[in-house]
Amino acid sequence: MRIRDWLGGAFVAGAMLAAPQAAMAWSNQGHMVTGAIAYDDLAKADPALAARIETLMASHPDKARFERGLAGYAGEARTRRLFELMARWPDDVREGPYDHPAWHYWLRLIPSKADPIKAPPALLATTTGEAAEAYRLNLATVRDAYAPAAERAVALCWVFHLAGDIQQPLHAGHLISGRFPLSDQAGGKAFVRPQAGADGVNLHQYWDDAIGGDAEGDANVEAVRLRLEGAWSRPDLNELDGKAGPDAFHAWADESLELARTVVYSDGAFEGAANAASAQPPPAGYEASRRRVGERRIALGGHRIADAVRAAFAP
């Protein structure tokens, strides 16, 4: 057990520098499934909203990218695919003019119990990242009927993406420990071996791939969409209350933080290795928990995107 004492000011500065600079949430496939579930939710209950989104997206400044992704699709399949591409778009434009790296997460620290470190209480109460403010800003932009259509279309893609991102536990909480005194950077600096003999991967990627990696072909996304909609329909998800405003986003983040604490880090008893070479397989039962939690959170993300659309276009 390693316990280290740090001077408060230096520790806080170092922890802020350790904020994840390129944190992803869910694989391409994961984000696309959230978009597909959102489309199915709206098509069933509010089909006029899906049509309004198509109209608005015709003004998107990155329209050519969407048109390439929609080539060969028609009718309902085309609209669903549009939703899928919207949900992943903020990841597709990384390092470009529409990129906002700090918008993807809203992190709070989770102290390790197995490998503790003494940290100032004020530090443990801080948040890192701008996802909550970004959601509020983009939701307001979509709601603003006087805003340029191009700006509203960009903002709507961010609303899609953020409502999905925050369901990933490692976009709401990360570990601070003796091994990771400046945090494990949302799992980006901690490594796990998915199974014996496999290469080590960082913990964040391991959770991003909870329902599969970046196999973004139509057959892959469709198979997962159908499986998750069968396993986690809207009535099965008792967390859903139809609310999708800024306060609701905070509640979604609180849910993910609790899952990061209890499942990802096993109540502070689990942490990844400091490098890929020394990574070990997770404890017994961990993989099944990752899969179960990941599937449920992605299903929730899809329905919460639909609720966010309802909130954005409400009279």
**pLDDT digit string (tens) for 223-262?**
999 999 999 999 999 999 999 999 999 999 999 999 999 9
Q: Which of 1.10.575.10, 1.10.150.120, 1.10.3720.10, 3.40.50.170 is the CATH number of 20-312? A: 1.10.575.10
Asked if the model's pLDDT at residue 162 lies above 80, the reply is yes
For the ranges 3-17, 95-109, 193-207, the lowest mean pLDDT is seen at 3-17
Q: Are 184 and 177 in contact (CB under 8 A)?
A: yes
Q: Summarize the confidence of residues 88-115 as an average pLDDT.
A: 97
Phi and psi of 104, rounded to 5°? -85, -5
Confidence (pLDDT) at 3: 30
Asked if the model's pLDDT at residue 263 lies above 50, the reply is yes
pLDDT category at 26 given cuts 50, 70, 90 is confident
Asked if the model's pLDDT at residue 129 lies above 70, the reply is yes
Asked if the model's pLDDT at residue 182 lies above 80, the reply is yes
pLDDT category at 17 given cuts 50, 70, 90 is very low
Query: Which is more confidently placed, 27 or 274?
Result: 274
Asked if the model's pLDDT at residue 14 lies above 70, the reply is no
pTM here is 0.92
Confidence (pLDDT) at 11: 40
Number of H helices, E strands in the chain: 12, 5
Asked if the model's pLDDT at residue 23 lies above 80, the reply is no
- Share of residues in the chain with pLDDT > 70 (%): 91
The gap from C-alpha 214 to its chain's centroid, in whole angstroms, comes to 15
Confidence (pLDDT) at 123: 87
For the ranges 14-18, 116-120, 148-152, 276-280, the lowest mean pLDDT is seen at 14-18
Confidence (pLDDT) at 149: 98
DSSP per residue over 180-194, as a string? -TT--TTTTT-EE-S
Tokens describing residue 229 = 């909609």
DSSP structural state of residue 236: G
Confidence (pLDDT) at 291: 95
pLDDT category at 4 given cuts 50, 70, 90 is very low
Q: Summarize the confidence of residues 211-224 as an average pLDDT.
A: 78
Sketch the domain layout of the chain as residue ranges: 20-312
Rounded mean pLDDT of the chain? 91
Q: Summarize the confidence of residues 113-135 as an average pLDDT.
A: 93
Phi and psi of 275, rounded to 5°? -150, 165
Work out whether strand 107-111 and strand 173-176 pair parallel, antiparallel, or are unpaired.
parallel
* Listed residue (183, 190, 181, 186) closest to 7, CA to CA: 181
Q: Are 244 and 138 in contact (CB under 8 A)?
A: no
Confidence (pLDDT) at 125: 87
DSSP per residue over 214-267, as a string? S--SHHHHHHHHHHHHHHS-GGG-TT--S--SHHHHHHHHHHHHHHIIIIISGG
Asked if the model's pLDDT at residue 214 lies above 50, the reply is yes
Q: Summarize the confidence of residues 41-49 as an average pLDDT.
A: 97
Q: Are 157 and 312 in contact (CB under 8 A)?
A: no
